[in-house]
């Protein structure tokens, strides 16, 4: 089980084509603080092929059909549905 499974579950239950979550909301969902790299590097929010990556955070959204787009200045992430 991944630390980011609760985020995956939240995205699975999302209505509509996009959901915006603040860093604080994501931390509330996962029950732990985001790593400093999530706050410092856009790459942490990369949308990697879930069959090839070992990054569990990316798998959390890509395996359920979402891509992440981060705005680190606003501390917000928009998860948008994509066609698989």
Burial of 6 (0-12, 13-18, 19+ CB in 10 A): middle
In the chain, the number of structural domains is 1
Contact in structure between 63 and 81 (CB atoms under 8 Å): no
pLDDT in tens, 17-38: 999 999 999 999 999 999 999 9
On whether the pTM is more than 0.75, the answer is: yes
Residue 83 has pLDDT above 80, yes or no: no
The answer, yes or no, to whether residue 5 has pLDDT greater than 90, is yes
> Which residue range(s) make up the domain with 12?
5-81
Give the closest residue to 61 by CA, choosing from 24, 28, 31, 20.
20
Q: Over 70: is that where the pLDDT of 84 sits?
A: no
């Amino acid at each position: 089980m991944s630390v980011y499974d609760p985020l995956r579950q939240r995205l699975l239950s999302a209505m509509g084509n996009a959901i915006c979550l603040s860093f604080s909301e994501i931390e509330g969902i996962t029950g732990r603080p985001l790593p400093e790299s999530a706050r410092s590097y856009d790459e942490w929010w990369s949308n990697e092929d879930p069959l090839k990556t070992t990054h569990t955070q990316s798998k959390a959204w890509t395996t359920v059909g979402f891509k992440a787009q981060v705005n680190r200045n606003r501390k917000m992430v928009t998860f948008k549905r994509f066609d698989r």
